[in-house]
Amino acid sequence: MSAAKTHGFQTEVNQLLKLMIHSLYSEKEIFLRELISNASDACDKLRYESLTNAELLSDDDELAVHVSFDKKKRTIVVKDNGVGMNEAEVVENIGTIARSGTKQFLDSLTGEKSKDAQLIGQFGVGFYSVFMVAEQVALTTRKAGDDTSNGVIWSSDGQGEYSIEKADIKERGTTITLKLKKAEDEFLNEYRLKNIIQKYSEHISLPIYMPKAEDEGEDDKDQPKDAELEWETVNKGTALWARAKREIKTEEYNQFYTSMTYDSDEPLSVLHNHVEGKQQYTSLFFIPSKAPFDLWDRDRKTGIKLYVRRVFIMDDTQNLMPSYLRFVRGLVDASDLPLNVSREILQKNQAIQKIKSASVKKVLNELKKMAEKKPDDYQKFWDEFGRVMKEGVVEDFENKELLQNLLRFATTNDGEEKQTVSLKDYASRMPESQKSIYYLTADSHAAAKNSPHLELFRKNNTEVLLLSDPVDEWLVAHLHEYDGKSLKSIAKGADLDDVQDDEAKEKAKEQEKDFSDLIEKFKKALENKAKDVRLSQRLTDSPACLVADEHDLGGNMERLLKAMGQDAPDSKPILEINAEHPILVNLKDNNDKVEDWANVLYDQAALSEGAPLNDPSAYVKRVNSLLSENL
């Protein structure tokens, strides 16, 4: 055994330790959940690695977790015979775990003990929960396949430092010994430990053993030495998904979901399917009721797990579920794949592609059924995951029709930011004379709701979809029509025949003649800013607005691309002016300062749609000059 080296925890780990020890005291029992979960993962990793290197299992091929306690020594021991760790892995995973997960965990705390306790597992910092109950922790480990002399002992009292040393360890795997604090006697009790295991780890698919009590009810007796112990299985140790659906209670599904995801909220929906025929596989999917903290991290590694004949193979999202359904949690257990399947093979495997295609349809059809039969549940789902679902219209052409019926939008009829209106709802309310589904994109709901582009549509009671999610620009670029009706931006083009009567059209022709001189002067003043200047048919109250030509990028899309660091095509907007607004009526007869007025109206139109001004100081000077002249 080499001399122990002492190291200091990183700053964020110290913060985390203090939180564990002092803040989450009402949820102390989760320490056992976390240790068993880590042990199970270690066994799964070894099982997978042994597919290509059978010698790793040697003569100890039953993978399991053992939990015991010693009342006299005040210790709890959690032991696994999984893959184990070498010294570098111990330092990385235990000693200096303050990577992005730790910081994100600290930033995500709510102050509610029960919610924060659930976050521990989600962020991968569960090992530290041991310091809620332990005054000293020792971790002994040896990586499978390494020489016995390459074992490692890590120990700490959670007070800012840890020590690490090499040791000779005969057995592979990891043993964690907790020396309990004096106030934690409740965990030196067989019944209490079994209860925690059955509450959190019932469905882990390898056996969890505890020493069998000599006499029933005498769970406070000291336990004999390991060599003399008679062990019994305290969890079911069977794969829940392999059982028939009719045999499984809702509570069991919920417990399994919580053990898999660390989410204490019940899922909105459970999809459990056994498929037989040319392909044989089982899928168990959960649609959560709340979005996870890392939903917008498209590279997140949680999601659908792949098993082959109940052997865990890998965590996977891209090959078993598309990115826009990355919130779906669960697993697929296939019968027809080789146990040594790799990620590279999965990408080209026809069987996996068929499973993925069928799984996507199952999820989408479940959401369709929820929308029809449980609209309140679907609204909860949409509020949490709607923005992600919109990505599907762009990414998944195969299911585009099914997806477009699941979309929900805010509209001018609703008045609220909440997205509740389907395209089917909108189409059913359209008058016969209306040929298009109208929409407006903006960078916020408030900007869309108060846009001058809506004025004529409001006057004529024509409903408009208000789109304010960043993904909406890509959505409408791929969703050109619905039920034979084209989708049309009210901030593009000049064709507003659907919402203009004949009288308004005749009046517009007369105004074109009256304002032709002013329009030419505006065009000259704005030749470097505007593609064109014309009279507006869409304004009733505002003096001016900016619109895009029919096939040009809209202003909102251009701003989004620039915010993402991408080049946007160089296109100028069109300035539309309101012939009935007092400013324009006066300017028509009095062209004094027309250049200043043209620039001010252009900049005001840009501001009203959330665009930044290229030269704010010039705008302020012009406004001040015009105000001074008219005071």
- Shared-domain flag, residues 139 and 258: no
pLDDT of residue 562: 63
In a domain, 493, yes or no: yes
What is the side-by-side order of every strand in the sheet holding 436-441?
410-411, 465-467, 436-441, 485-489, 481-482
What is each CA distance from 545 to 279, 281, 387, 552, in whole angstroms? Answer: 59, 58, 28, 16
**Per-residue three-class SS string for 366-422:** HHHHHHHHCHHHHHHHHHHHHHHHHHHHHHCHHHHHHHHCCCCEEECCCCCCCCCEC
3-state secondary structure (DSSP) of residue 110: coil
- Backbone angles phi and psi of 554, in degrees to 5: -75, 160
Biggest CA pair distance of the chain: 106
**Structural domain harbouring 574:** 409-631
3-state secondary structure (DSSP) of residue 233: strand
Beta strand 410-411 pairing with 465-467: antiparallel
Last residue of a domain, one of 363, 380, 397: 380
In a domain, 144, yes or no: yes
Burial profile 389-420: b = 16 or more Cβ within 10 angstroms, e = fewer: bbbbbbbbeebeebbbbbbbbbbbebeeeebb
Would the CA dihedral through 170, 174, 175, 180 be positive or negative?
positive
Residues 6+ apart with CB under 8 A from 350: none
- Shared-domain flag, residues 249 and 373: yes
Cα end-to-end distance, the chain, whole Å: 91
Provide the CB-side half-sphere exposure for 92 (13 A, CA): 5
Amino acid identity, position 412: T
3-state secondary structure (DSSP) of residue 538: coil
- Shared-domain flag, residues 135 and 272: no
- Shared-domain flag, residues 301 and 200: no
The per-residue DSSP string of 434-484 comes to --EEEEEE-SSHHHHHT-GGGHHHHHTT---EEE-STTHHHHHHH--EETT
What is each CA distance from 553 to 229, 480, 510, 571, 572, in whole angstroms? Answer: 74, 15, 31, 7, 9
* Tally of structural domains, the chain: 3
In a domain, 263, yes or no: yes
pTM over 0.85: no
Amino acid identity, position 602: Y
Last residue of a domain, one of 238, 268, 290: 238
Using alpha carbons, select from 381, 433, 379, 432 the residue that is nearest to residue 410: 379
In a domain, 401, yes or no: no
Residue where the block lists tokens 């996996």: 352
Quickly count: other Cβ atoms within 10 Å of residue 247's Cβ.
Answer: 8
In a domain, 402, yes or no: no
**Per-residue three-class SS string for 27-71:** HCCHHHHHHHHHHHHHHHHHHHHCCCCHHHCCCCCCCCEEEEEEC
In a domain, 105, yes or no: yes
- Shared-domain flag, residues 259 and 112: no
In a domain, 478, yes or no: yes
Contact 478, 515 (CB under 8 A): no
CATH number for the domain spanning 504: value is 3.40.50.11260
- Shared-domain flag, residues 434 and 371: no
Which tokens belong to 440? 């407006």
- Shared-domain flag, residues 230 and 284: no
- Shared-domain flag, residues 525 and 462: yes
Instruction: Please name every residue paired with 436 in a beta bridge, in sequence order, or none if there are none.
Output: 486
Q: How far apart are CA 445 and CA 527, in angstroms?
A: 32
- Shared-domain flag, residues 26 and 161: yes
Using alpha carbons, select from 611, 600, 631, 598 the residue that is nearest to residue 555: 611
CATH number for the domain spanning 365: value is 3.30.230.80
Last residue of a domain, one of 219, 238, 257: 238
What is each CA distance from 143 to 80, 155, 172, 173, in whole angstroms? Answer: 12, 17, 6, 6
The per-residue DSSP string of 330-349 comes to EEEEESSS-TT--HHHHHH-
- Shared-domain flag, residues 316 and 441: no
Contact 524, 602 (CB under 8 A): no
3-state secondary structure (DSSP) of residue 568: coil
Contact 535, 516 (CB under 8 A): no
Burial profile 545-583: b = 16 or more Cβ within 10 angstroms, e = fewer: bbbbbeebbbbbbbbbeeeeeeeeeeebbbbbbbbebee
- Shared-domain flag, residues 580 and 624: yes
In a domain, 388, yes or no: no
CATH number for the domain spanning 155: value is 3.30.565.10
- Shared-domain flag, residues 223 and 276: no
Average pLDDT along the chain, 631 residues, taken 10 residues at a time: 74 66 65 88 89 84 93 96 92 59 56 55 66 93 94 90 92 96 94 88 85 62 62 85 92 88 90 91 95 72 78 76 92 82 75 92 97 96 95 93 95 86 95 90 90 91 92 90 92 72 73 88 92 90 90 68 66 90 88 89 90 89 88 71
Contact 371, 307 (CB under 8 A): no
